[in-house]
Amino acid sequence: MSRLQTIRLPISANLKLMLVLLALAIVAGTLWFTQNLVNELKDAERRTITFYANTLQALLNAPPDTESTSDVASDLAFQAAEVLYFPVIVTTHPDGDVMDRMNIDVDTTMSLEDQGAELKKRATKMSQSYDPLPIYAVIPNDEIVQAGDSVVTQTRFDTIVTNYIYFDDSDAVKQLQLLPWIEIIIITMFILIAYISFSHIKRSEQSNIWVGMAKETAHQLGTPLSSLMGWIELLRFEPENREQVLEAANEMTRDIDRLTTVAQRFSKIGSASQTTQVDMNEVIGGVIRYFERRLPHLGKRISLEFTPTHEPIHARINVELFQWVLENLIRNAADAIERQEGRICLKAQESRESMIIDISDNGKGIDPKIRKDIFRPGFSTKQRGWGLGLSLAKRIVEEYHGGKIFIKESSAEGTTFTIRLHR
């Protein structure tokens, strides 16, 4: 399997796995937090209704001679009723008459009998969620007891249930219970849309790469093939001119070497990384010599400037692929020069940890709005471009060589690309 494949596919798979894990984490966190909040609100409502029931029970069982205690209980019951914010129904006994209701709307146009029946239905429905709270009353019961020759009256206290309090969750709790499911639906839709968009972008980029590779192949092969055809025609017309035959043979050899280089480049795109330690001065010099023969045919006077360093600059690269990167950058620089006299400068230097190459031109510069897109497959500002050169250069530098390529600076006075490779 090629290095480019072993790099790209796991990244895509890992990204999908990360999206799934992130979605599960968000869903689990949302459910946990919301459920805890709902449980706390339910406990608070339960404590409130229990306090209200105890207050009513204290009021009901207050001794008649303790007026102050009765007043306090009455005030507490009134205040508790004021703070109740969830539905409450008070009945005389299970399925009995409704004595009071709070936070429940009924149709007042109905008769009192129909209103009572509707409230009983609501109470029955409430009992399916929570058991009603009973209100106990303590009733004294005097009975005469024969004790020997005397008769005494003994007071016995009976406890009976006088009322039931039905209650249900507040609207806030019910809405909170629905909230996580709404969030899950929204998150699922978001992830689904993101996944579909990601897949569409990936397929589009792959399509652009295939189309661009086909056009790049035709372009790379077209120049040496056209040259070979020209030399063959020359040999046909003047086969006896020895000097021209030798010149044609030399040029045809160069063109064949060029075709061999093109074939090797495309074959190494899909192969494992094979790098050798080389002097970058020699690699850059070879590219400069190639373009010195090509640039005069562009109709512009463009000078290529490169001063080799006194000491060799060593780096581990694949020579054929790295020369392809430099050729793409120089070709783009030449296309960006609109003036009749242009300049393209290459500068190589090294530090303790890396080797750096700057490719500068005095062209029109790159619009800041499109700088983030120039390395994207299929993106091109040229009318006849196919947007693969810089994308391919980025893949070769960053994925094949583990380096970095970026725009160092760009203005109306020109652009500088920088390549940084680890030593």
Q: Which two tokens stand for residue 391?
A: 């994308």
Per-domain residue ranges for the chain?
Answer: 89-168, 273-423
DSSP per-residue string spanning 223-278? HHHHHHHHHHHHHHH-TT-HHHHHHHHHHHHHHHHHHHHHHHHHHHHTS----EEE
For 196-224, the pLDDT digits (tens) are 887 787 777 666 666 666 666 666 666 67
Dist CA 385 CA 342 (whole Å): 21
Q: Which residues contact 409 (CB under 8 A, 6 or more apart)?
A: 415, 416
Q: What is the pLDDT of residue 215?
A: 62
**Which ranges of 296-363 does DSSP label H, i.e. alpha helix?**
319-336
The DSSP 8-state label assigned to residue 350 in this structure reads E
Q: What is the pLDDT of residues 178-196, one digit of tens each?
A: 887 887 888 788 878 887 8
User: pLDDT tens, 94-110?
Assistant: 667 888 888 888 887 88
Evaluate if residue 116 carries a pLDDT over 70: yes
Model-level pTM? 0.49
Looking at residue 127, what is its pLDDT?
84
- Is the pLDDT at 147 greater than 60? The verdict is no
Helix axes 171-237 and 242-269, enclosed angle (nearest 10):
160
Q: Give CATH for domain 273-423.
A: 3.30.565.10
